[in-house]
Copies of this chain bind each other. A is one copy, B any other.
C-alpha cells in the first residue's frame, strides 16, 4: 500500500490538486468550491487514508511546526520531566518536539543545532552546555527563534527562563543554619555555568549573612563524569571520620550528585540527619523513599516547560518582541533529612 498524495485524490475525483489542497485545508468555502465536490474530495481522502507529507508542506511553507529541544540528558529525571512538560505544552499548540541529549558536551550540542537547523525547526529550546556561547551567538544570527532554559549566558541577549538559583541555595542553607548546623558543605559539579555558580553563591551569601566564615575546603567541585570514586572520596573527606566530622550538613547542587552521595553515606554507615543533614536541588523520586526522606529544592517544572514553549511560540509569531528574562521561584520541600 503506497502513500496517497494530493494528486491521487485529484485524479480519482477528477479535479485539480489545487482544489483538493483547498478543500483539505478547510478553505473550500473561501474558494467557492461546491459542496458536492468538497464532500467527494473529503470522502476520497479518508477512503485512501490520505496523510499530508509534512516534508513537502514544510518545504513549501517554510514552517515545520517542529521545535528542537537540547537538554543535557533525557535519562536524567530532571530533564526527563521537564522534557515531558515541554512535549505536552507543545502538543497543545500543535507543535512537535525533537529531543536531543547533549551530555553537557558542546561539540554534541553544536552537531545537534546543525541537525535541527537542517531539519528546518521553527525554533529551539536549549539548555546550553558550557563553552557553547559561540554556538548560541551564531544561532541568534540565523534569526530562528530560541529560548534558553535552566541556564543562560549573561552576555547574550536572548529569551531565557530559569529559576532563582541564588535564592534557592540561600534559603536551603539558611534552613540548615536555623536547625543548628554550622559546618555546611556544598557538593557541586565543575560545569562552568551560571546556574551552578549562582547556587554556590547563594550558599556562600547565606553563610556570610549568618556570620559564618566560608571554608573553601567544604566546597567540593566534582568532575561532571560523575565517577563514583570522586563522590566517595569527597564524602569520605567531609564525613568519613565520624567522631570528628568536617561537615555536619551537605547541600547537593544536583540530584545526580545527591543520589550518589547518599548511596556513599549509607555505605559508610553515616546516619542522615544525625551525622550529616542533607538538602539537595531537584525533587526526584529517589528522595521520597530515601533512608531519611530528603529535603529538596523543587523546581516548578510544569511552569518552566509551559513558559518556555509560550515564550518561543510568541517569538515565532512575532520575532520583533523584546526579549524576556524569566526567573521563577523554587520551593523548599522540607522532609526529614535535616532533622528538626
Which A residues form the contact surface with B (CB < 8 A)?
1-3, 51-56, 58-59, 64, 73-77, 80-81, 83-84, 87-88, 96-101, 114-115, 117-120, 141-143, 259, 262-263, 266, 284-286, 288-291, 293
Chain B residues whose CB sits within 8 angstroms of the CB of A75 once the complex forms: 77, 80-81, 83-84
Q: Which of B73, B115, B288 sits near A259, CB closer than 8 Å? A: B288
A74-B98 in contact (CB<8A) = no
Q: Which of B87, B262, B288 sits near A74, CB closer than 8 Å? A: B87
B87-A80 in contact (CB<8A) = no
In the complex with contacts A55-B58, A259-B285, A141-B87 CB distance below 8 A: no
Q: Which of B59, B64, B101, B259 sits near A56, CB closer than 8 Å? A: B59
B290-A291 in contact (CB<8A) = yes
Q: Which of B52, B83, B285 sits near A286, CB closer than 8 Å? A: B285
Chain B residues whose CB sits within 8 angstroms of the CB of A142 once the complex forms: 1, 3
Q: Whole-angstrom distance between the alpha carbons of A80 and B82 in the complex? A: 12
Q: Which of B56, B73, B101, B285 sits near A284, CB closer than 8 Å? A: B285
Nearest B-chain residue to A98, judged by Cβ: B98
B141-A115 in contact (CB<8A) = no
Nearest B-chain residue to A258, judged by Cβ: B289
B291-A55 in contact (CB<8A) = no
Chain B residues whose CB sits within 8 angstroms of the CB of A120 once the complex forms: 53-55
B77-A84 in contact (CB<8A) = no
B141-A1 in contact (CB<8A) = yes
Give 11 new A-B contacts, CB below 8 A, not counting A88-B101, A290-B291: A53-B59, A55-B56, A59-B59, A74-B74, A74-B83, A74-B87, A75-B80, A76-B80, A96-B115, A285-B286, A289-B291
